[in-house]
Chain A
Amino acid sequence: MTKKHLLLTLALTGLLLDAGPARADSAASLSVSTGKPLLLSNRAQRTFLKVGLVGRSPEASSRVPVNLALVLDRSSSMAGDKIAKAKEAALMVLDRLGKDDIVSVVTYDSQVEVLVPATRLRDKEQLAARIRAITPRGSTALFAGVSAGIEEVRKFLDNQRVNRVILLSDGQANVGPSSPNELGTLGAAAGKEGISITTIGLGLGYNEDLMAQIARRSDGNHAFVESAEELAQIFKLELGDVLSVVAQEVSVRIALPAGFRPVQLLNRPGEITGQDVFIALNQLYAGQEKYALLEVEAPAGRAGEALTLADVHVSYSALPSGKTERLHEAAAVRFTDSAAEVARAEDREVMVAAVEALAVKANREAVALRDQGKVEAAKQKLQDNAAYLRSSAERYRAPRLNTYSTQNMQDAQNLEGEGWNKRRKSMRKTQYELDTQQSY
């Protein structure tokens, strides 16, 4: 993002205090905005803070080398078309990578085999031959497979590379730790080290909660591929993301002044400790915005008073240099007596993001209700959610909210019968996509 753009953003909000040193050559740009820059005076109320980060557009000349582990399910359920397409996709990935990239291939069934240990991609043909030789067998030791994948990436862990595991599975983990929580913890541990795990669920047999958890906690992507035909496309998109990473080890610290209280993070995991909020992102992709939404309770203020809402410090490791860059922005609110003014000043973009995040939360709650067998309650929740989205779409003139509204209506109609399994997977996928602003 250019300086000019940044200034424009500041001018539009008119609220930007203490603009940090925005350098033209930084790998990312930071924007901090609030849903309601004007608040009604003399009462405590809540508003949304949006912290957005946009990766710099890619330079055509060079790309960051990657350190990639492909973790492929070769359990017997993969037999036939699935394993063929998975191999095809893996070969395609191989094809797109160069000799500076590091690749490893791990396969797992009831046991784990590191088919290709982490190595610079020098002899593509030998690797390809090994991939082609994969045959399905046995059960699904997903935990061990992911562990081995992580370990392969760790061998060459480098903040000047994109460190990533791509996990493909079509089945339930049935050997080793297999709860979403346990696998999530494993994902989180990988994330802490700068390794993202992208999870691709194939078919209708995998555990979407588990796969989504791994991705969420490690800041990877998550995809649901119903038919093996789509695998190559997903791998292509994923590889596009991987190759467009411009910053890694992104940490966002939001400090709220006394009087303000952080209520909750809407769309991303993070830590809230007193007035401090910490959010970690593993990477930023070129030209893609990633944001976090924080619900904040503001104190009662006098009319005309202006208060700093939040100080936001971001640090990350820029690619390909590996240098740490820091950004700083702040957001402020003013108080007024006029409700109309408050409404007029609303930041539509922030509000739409917030509505979307809340709707995702409601959608997730509906899944939980349905899981408990409360089909009617879940249905009601989804229908309410759809209505909320529809009215918000109108209010904020945001057509994409209508799209999600329609989806919620469809979700409400597919809570039972054979379609539910597939629907649940696609709901999880959409929840994940919206929460993390995933590009595909």
Chain B
Amino acid sequence: MKVLVAEDDPHMRRGIEEILEGEGYQVVAVADGEAAVEAYRSHAPDFVCLDIMMPKLNGYDVCRVIRRSSATVPIMFLSAKSEEVDKVLGLELGADDYVMKPFGVKEFAARVRAICRRALRTAPAHEVSQFILHDLTVLPAELRARRGDQLVELSLREVRLLRCFFEHPGQALDRDRLFAAGWGHKAYPNSRTLDQHISKLRKKVELDPTSPRIIQTVHGLGYRYEPTGL
């Protein structure tokens, strides 16, 4: 999924980019309102994240422009302005959510996931609605997984990684393979990044992350899902 981020503060922009990429989104980041409109036209993102106070065109104006061509693309405002008037105005203009700075990474990620889930629900269901890894049922459209009555929040990337393991059961998947699945071919994160992600994912999906059962380590090569590895 492609996300357009318009934010004039470079650190904030970089930070958001990192969070969204960490979640598995492809991010187009711009620094002002005009660039946002242009990027929206050229990249047709699935999701837009707009700062309000930006040079050239402010977030509200960008929102108005986008809404003229698409009534459904999810839009999320980011702002330091806590004025309730802004909130109301933003929602009236057709924004889907409103996040106030400063915000926490987890909170932001959760909000993004919530919006993304809505988008996935309305999108054509070309994917399987669920797949099972051992005792874990993964619900891709929900960006969640279920074990018993316990729900686990997953990022888009995590869903993709889990799907990759599910589709190649018993195979040792090398880093490139996993990169391609979770980050796409053009991205080349270092191996440490992958390890961190796997570590985080294990904490979410494994019953005991210290002796993982679903995602097992293949030393020197990568990782492997062993369906019968019970």
Direct A–B contact in complex, judged by CB atoms less than 8 Å apart: no
> Which B residues are closer than 8 A to A by beta carbons?
none
